[in-house]
Structure 1
Amino acid sequence: MSGRQDDRLREQGQAERATASAAGDSQRGGRLRRLRDRLRVWWRNPSIMRAFFVYALVWLVAASAVTLVAIDALMEVYYRVSEEHRSEHVEVNAGPYIYDAQTDELLRATPVYLQDFYEQVVFVAFVNSAQSYSSAGVVAGGWNRDMQAVDATMELLRSDPSYRVSDWGGNYTENDYLQTDGTPYNPEATVSVSDLPAYDARERAERLQTVEEFANTNLGEDVVLSNVAYYVSLDEASYLTWIGWTLRLVAGVGVPIVAFGGLAVLLFRRFYRRHIGGPLSVLEAAADRIARQDLDFQIGAVRGRELGRLGTAMGGMRSSLLATQRELWRTAEDRRRLNAAFAHDLRTPVTVLKGTLEMARMKANRAGSGEDVRKTLDTLSGQADRLESYAQLMSRVTKLEDREVMRSACAPSDVARILERQAAGYVATRGNGCKLLFSLGDAMRAAGASDGSVAAPDAGGAAGAGDGHVVVPDAERAAESCPEPLSIDMQLVEEVLGNLLGNACDHARSKVEVSVDLLQPEQSSLAAGARGDVRLELVVTDDGHGFTAEALHHGCDPFYSEAKSAEHFGLGLNIARTLARLHGGAVELGNLEGGGACVTATFAVDTNEENR
């Protein structure tokens, strides 16, 4: 029983430990998941500064790691290449060495610093400890970590000029410091092997006599003391080839530039695309649609805290503009319906009034009424006609907004021919003797049309022909070389040109000028927010008094006129603007520098679209 109970207790303990271990693992896993989720939330929508800091940290760590690994690999290759050439020379201990004039030999020495002053030192060597140079001392295998070095000897230095002997330094006098501005030691200076005995004797005499510290000490005959020592090194030029120099240059300069520069380009290009360029492209696309008054869309999520707030602000602006646009549309629609109802309701009483006036005129004539009565009836009849014309114009303006633009393909040469003939005919019949100057712009001529200046004939006849039509020789000879015709509603454009010519002829003194040209997308500046299409431009100018400051702002408003008359209600420019807008363009008013009005109308005539 006792054994079974022990087994049961043992199994129970193992189960408890397994449960505790599983619970610990689950708890650790839960902490890791929570940490991972926090990092995801922290990085989901970071600020530009936070994102830049993370990218900069990643760049610094990655570039440093790549640089260290690449330098280590290149230097390993450098060591292997250098070993092949360094193996031709004996590897010697660097030193320090002192020169023994009695034996004309270098002795391996040990520096003994006096009173903790590193500048005051005594070099101690033992004559019997010197190692002689022989061919057996050359280490096979060259420069490697397992090589064995020998002590330098005068025989070795005289036989192989690849070794450099340099002063170890120390024990300089105050005068040495004064003469060299505080730096008497020159690590680049070398001592010629042939001049070493004379140099050693001179320097021992001129430097601090630290050897005197051991003058009263019996060190034995084998001990040699000196206040001057040397170190020996193998000149790099003896084993370093152009391959070695290239490897060192690449490792020291090329690798850091490539690693830090290349990773900077890759990482910061990605940073720009994700955190600056990408969000800006979303905002730019939204701004373009808002500029085109295309407000029926939602601005997508914009990455980044700062640009995200800007996107939210633009979304609010879009919503506000959309609400305003809808309110304006409702107002315009209400006004259009009101104008239509007014024009319709006015037509019946005007018809009744005209009929009544006609009957009254007939009765007056039968009754033989006086001249005053007939004049009064004529005046009333004229006003009734004016009311009828007004109602008809009101009805026409209301219907203009519902007019459909009927586009068709038309060659630039045909457009120029039609517009020139219409302008010549209009000025001939209603121009009050004005002269018409018609011209084409450079883009229009390049598209295959030619221009000419045509004087409008008087109302009694046509120029050059007796059929009442103006002959346009240049337009007739226009080469139809434009590969892409214009997508245009010619009837609509002609109506606009007629309204502009009517306004110009009413104010011109002696001439009216018409210019036709094609504008590329970057040239078209009218109608802010309009799409970037190829645009047909009509410019009509006259030599009249020009527009007043008020007319420049309100000249295209309905029923605006500086000099209203029975025939004019101030709707010509308004109709022209409405039609131009239907065709994707606009009308702009201006004045010439020398005097006279200038009206510019544009029409979207995209050569890549038959119909919009």
Structure 2
Amino acid sequence: MFKKYSLKKQFISTFVLVLVCSMISVVVTVIIGISLINGKNIKPANYYENMIPKIESYIKSNNIKLLDKDYKNKLYELIPSKGIKYEVIDLDNTTSYGTLERNLDNKKEIIDRINTSYVDKKNNVDKYIPIISEDYYLKGVVILNYTLEVSSDNIPQSIISLVSITILVSPFIYIMLFSYLFGRKLAININEPLNKLKWASSKIRENDLDFDLEYPYNNELGEVISSFDEMKKELSSTLNKQWSIEEERKEIISGLSHDLRSPLTVIKGKVDMLLEGSYKNETRLITYLESINKSTDRAVMLVEDLNTINKLENSKFYILPSDNNIVNFLNEKLEGFMALAHEKAISINLVLENIDNEVVWRFDETAISRVLDNIITNAIRYTDNNGNIDIEICIKENRLYFKISDTGRGFSNNDLKFALNKFYRGDKARGVSSGNSGLGLYICKIIIEKHNGEIMISNSENKGANVEFYIKNASKGYCSK
């Protein structure tokens, strides 16, 4: 019942159903209660109260005559003995008669209550009516006593009270009863999908993702189950990817170990030869030392790349931005590349747009310098002699754009797909020979993303490589995790 509705509609419908059923039940209860005592002289709660004005009028018309006990029978005929009790008190003689017993010692209290009606906690009413002489002196008091309750001459008052109480409390009883019944049904509707989620959670805890989670209704619970099922599928996919990554990492680490072993082997071999006496030949000594130096640089580079990536992926790593003059920064960087480019007769062309000698940009100088070192060094390495490298830099919409293009052989199809991934080295033979760890572009990607930027690679029309990226202008005190 109501399963297909939203939770809000289920709660409202259940609440309305409880109220409607309770109201119908109360009406039925009232009808049954009335039918049980119908036609048996049921008197409403104010039945005797409505008789008081007539009795009061009789008392005022007779006044001090009522102090004569001969009027006792007349009052008895006028006042119904079962519903109203009375007491006639002569204040001068402190005498009284009637069906109501009152203590005459407290005369002041009686006088204070003249022309008033006193109601106690049990709805018993005492009405004090004065008896006035012709010369307007207070001579006595008539006390009328009656109870405000439903009564009958033929039905015991206990039964009437029981029926009345039942009718009064029945709304609360029915509300509690139907709240329990319909609330239990609502709880079942809600618990059914929740139990499915608990079951699914236990399956995941047991590393079992081979199950389907379904719920036929499109409400909030259905959406939760659908989201949970999507999460399960995504988790399954992620775990499979993680497994593939781990396998790939094992392969790459094995390759890196081999790469690191190569320079260490060279170093070890050269050192052994020197220890055996080769150091006595000056020419051979210099050649061996140069070989050891290159192998050491290669090993250090591999270790530094791994150390760098570990730092960048650490959640506690922060960039340290500072204000930098863009033109001065670029001139210093290009000065270092000119020597490498000159060896291959490569021309490096710098084009600036919307940037003059006064423009300052806030970024981590060391980190961005490493990005340019990696990209431009690779461009020089893979550009043939007499080639060109174009560096275009501009500012647009609070972004500093870089584009480095070369006339080399460009990226392969696999490079375009995976070059920004960690440990990707493309041509493995080239990677080994060059000491490439497969982390260069990935490190660049992480640094640029920490500057709230993005890096993209492509091939130009002349089949050369394009590397484009942008960084945002960091605010004062800005640190990106």
- TM-score bracket, shorter-length normalisation: 0.3 to 0.5
Instruction: Give the TM-score taking structure 1 as reference length.
Output: 0.38
